[in-house]
Structure 1
């Protein structure tokens, strides 16, 4: 295949949607949000799915569980990139501050 990049050129960093600036810092909705780390990504996946249901697509890398007021993250040693884990952490803590993903419609996907 001409023009195809070699597999080694791929990065371990996955895309993480940054939160809007108004949710990037400050207190959480309750002020009592806890953080829970998992060293096993499959255990993290099961835990998030137990409270949030199956993800609409893909799998959980991390999650915020409103019913428990808990941010769930992969343990720092269980994640390939410190910068990526920090991006996940910022994303999930923004949910604890009230940020919700915009609804995706069929029209916006096309």
Structure 2
């Protein structure tokens, strides 16, 4: 079953955004790594750190702009091309309980028992 052209375009655009977000995370990793090097060896890796920071912000800005465009397109097409989605949140509070469990587990692994 073939998807309508509009849906295919949106999915392709979202796939591109997903790839951009992966690049943002990779660049963040490189930035932290170069910061660690900078702290160990002083000014030797400062240009690399500055380049990684700049590229991180460039990648982040690009992904954010594209994501905002997709959200705007989605908002504009609800009710015309897309049916409005009715969601009802069930089991409210469950997410907070799970979140607290994860924070406690993280604190335990970091050695900061509460």
Q: More strand by proportion, 1 or 2?
A: 1
Identify the structure with bigger relative contact order (alpha carbons < 8 Å, sequence gap 6+). 1
TM-score by length of 2: 0.23
**Quick check: which has more Rg, 1 or 2?**
2
Q: More helix by proportion, 1 or 2?
A: 2
